[in-house]
C-alpha cells in the first residue's frame, strides 16, 4: 500500500491572553501532519511562526508539496536534504518518527537510546504585562520550580524585580525575545544577576548581537532566534553560553538530535523549548530534553484545552509520552 500524507489545521484556545514583546494571542493554530502506511498512521504537529515568515497557508502548502516524496518511500533522512528547517519539515519528520515506531514496534525513546525516559522539570511562562500584573501571575505560580518571564519593554527592570519579589524561591529564565539593545543590555544583565536569574534568552536581535562577545555575561545567555540548525552553532560561540533547540526551528527531531550533539561538543548548555502548541507537539521534545539543562515545554499548560490523549503534567513535571499520543 502506498503511503499517504494528509494535513489538518486545528485551533486551540489559549487560557487568557499570551503576550510577548511582538504581540498578543488568544489562540494557538497548529498543523497536524499524518502519514499512513499499511493501516498504521504516524502524526506530527507544528506551529507556524510569523517571526520566521511562516503562515498556516504557506506551511501547509510546503507539507502537501511532499506528498509524492512520501508516497514514493521517501525517508526522514532524505527529508532533511529536501526541505529547509522550519515548521513544515518538523511536522513531516515527527510523523515519520511516529510511523516508524509503530511499524517496527520499537518506541522512539529506545531508538534514541533512552532506556527509561524520565519526568522533567519544565518552566512555566509568565506572559508580558505591566509589572504588577506579572507579579500577580508569578505569585500564583510561585510554587513551581522554574518560571520563564517574557520581557522586551523599555522598563524591564521593574518587571524583573516585581517577579522576583513575588516568587522569591523560583528559578528564573528571562526571555527578551530580541527586545533589548546594545545600550541597555549591560544594565539589564547586572539587574538580572542581582535578582538571581539563571538564564537569559535572546536579549538582542538575531544578527545584531556581536556585542555579546565583548561584554561580561553576569548571567548565562541562551540563543533562541539566532539558533535554528546545526550550521548556526559555530557562529554563536563566544556570544552565547547555551542554545534553545525547538523542533519547529530545527525542522524536526532528526535534525534536533544532531544539533544537540554538536552543541554539546562545542560546549553549549542545552535548553529544549517550544512554541505554544498541544501535547502532540511537545511529545518528541520531551524525549529530546531528557538530559537538557533547561526544559521549557509548557505549551499545553497555556491552553484552555489540549489534544487527546494529552501529556501528563504534575506541578512542574512533564512526563514522557504514552504511545497512544506519540512515539
Report the catalytic residues. Answer: 150, 246
Taking the C-alpha atoms of residue 254 and residue 80, their distance in angstroms, rounded to an integer, is 8
Per-position b or e across 105-126, b if 16+ CB within 10 A of its CB: eebbbeebebeebeebebbbbb
H helices present in 125-275, as ranges: 131-140, 156-166, 185-194, 233-236, 247-250, 253-265
H helices present in 83-194, as ranges: 87-104, 108-111, 131-140, 156-166, 185-194
- Contacts (Cβ under 8 Å, ≥6 apart) of 243: 222, 223, 227, 233, 236, 259, 263, 268, 269, 270, 271
Q: How many CB atoms lie within 10 A of CB 73?
A: 10
Sign of CA dihedral 201, 207, 212, 213: positive
- Kindly report whether the peptide bond that precedes residue 229 is cis, defined as omega within 30 degrees of 0: no
Residue 239 CA to chain centroid, in angstroms? 21
Taking the C-alpha atoms of residue 46 and residue 251, their distance in angstroms, rounded to an integer, is 9
Written as nine digits, the cell of 278 is 498541544
Taking the C-alpha atoms of residue 216 and residue 222, their distance in angstroms, rounded to an integer, is 14
Amino acid at each position: 500500500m502506498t503511503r499517504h500524507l494528509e494535513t489538518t489545521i486545528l485551533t486551540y484556545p489559549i487560557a487568557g491572553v499570551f503576550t510577548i514583546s511582538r504581540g498578543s494571542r488568544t489562540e494557538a493554530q497548529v498543523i497536524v501532519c499524518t502519514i499512513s502506511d499499511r493501516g498504521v498512521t504516524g502524526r506530527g504537529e507544528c506551529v507556524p511562526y510569523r517571526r520566521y515568515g511562516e503562515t498556516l497557508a504557506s506551511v501547509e502548502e510546503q507539507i502537501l508539496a511532499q506528498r509524492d516524496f512520501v508516497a514514493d518511500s521517501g525517508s526522514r533522512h532524505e527529508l532533511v536534504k529536501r526541505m529547509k528547517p522550519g515548521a513544515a519539515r518538523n511536522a513531516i519528520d515527527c510523523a515519520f518518527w511516529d510511523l516508524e515506531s509503530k511499524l517496527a514496534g520499537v518506541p522512539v525513546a529506545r531508538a534514541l537510546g533512552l532506556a527509561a525516559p524520565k519526568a522533567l522539570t519544565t518552566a512555566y511562562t509568565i506572559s508580558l504585562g505591566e509589572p504588577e500584573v506579572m507579579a500577580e501571575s508569578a505569585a500564583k505560580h510561585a510554587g513551581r520550580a522554574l518560571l520563564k518571564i517574557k520581557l522586551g519593554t523599555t522598563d524591564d527592570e521593574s518587571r524583573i524585580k516585581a517577579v522576583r519579589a513575588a516568587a522569591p524561591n523560583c528559578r528564573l529564565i528571562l526571555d527578551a525575545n530580541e527586545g533589548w539593545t546594545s545600550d541597555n543590555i549591560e544594565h539589564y544583565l547586572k539587574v538580572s544577576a542581582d535578582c538571581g536569574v539563571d538564564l537569559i534568552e535572546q536579549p538582542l536581535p538575531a544578527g545584531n548581537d556581536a556585542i555579546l562577545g565583548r561584554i561580561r555575561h553576569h548571567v548565562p545567555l541562551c540563543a533562541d532566534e539566532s539558533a535554528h540548525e546545526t550550521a548556526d552553532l559555530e557562529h554563536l560561540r563566544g556570544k552565547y553560553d547555551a542554545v534553545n533547540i525547538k523542533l519547529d526551528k530545527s525542522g524536526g527531531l532528526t535534525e534536533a538530535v544532531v544539533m544537540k550533539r554538536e552543541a554539546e561538543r562545542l560546549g553549549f548548555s542545552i535548553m529544549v523549548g517550544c512554541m505554544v502548541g498541544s501535547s502532540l507537539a511537545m511529545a518528541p521534545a520531551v524525549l529530546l530534553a531528557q538530559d537538557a539543562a533547561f526544559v521549557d515545554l509548557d505549551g499545553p499548560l497555556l491552553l484552555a484545552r489540549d489534544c487527546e490523549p494529552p501529556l501528563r503534567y504534575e506541578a512542574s513535571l512533564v512526563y514522557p509520552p504514552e504511545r497512544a499520543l506519540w512515539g
